[in-house]
Structure 1
């Protein structure tokens, strides 16, 4: 089966080399702000078909594409990849600009996020 909770599809989380001196923000080119605003509950879905070769993408993009074959929130992606939320937001925003992922922004009702969506995000985080 999978490599841990939430990895029922047999995928393993992206993990930088433990001995690597490279900091997480290096993969974003030092940027800490995404191109577009991404709430942590924004849902992300890969636009790349499962059979498509991902080897031409950087490892972080490969991991996100693989993870997002199922719809996942930005917060889930950050937790599963074990990268700071800011890094995940920058990477996902860049991927959206390149049409590698599709974003589903939460519908706000009078400034309040959808309760059903928040329950799904919380459930996903608990599975971690």
Structure 2
């Protein structure tokens, strides 16, 4: 399961950087096929991680799920993506009407602007109230 989560976080970081799979792979002299495998959970090489870190990827987050910098320092797009993912994960199979889901996403987005907030905190909060 951890391999799949690492792959999901790698994809999230790639998208945060606005890169295609081909572009991300080329930063580390890897193939698109390798990128796809890494995003599916295959452990990336140390050289790959070093190269993408130099391009701005948060390798600590990819490997551990913890950001090197607080969520409040994320770009707006990355914070919005983190808010949506936190809501989706927190809700699980539960469904909300679109207007309520939008309210929850806005709340999560605002919470993630707080220096002490984390994605895991938001997910747990959603699980408790959903």
What is the TM-score with the length of structure 2 in the denominator?
0.26
Structure with greater contact order relative to length (CA < 8 Å, sep ≥ 6): 1
Larger fraction in strand: 1
What is the TM-score with the length of structure 1 in the denominator?
0.26
Larger fraction in helix: 2
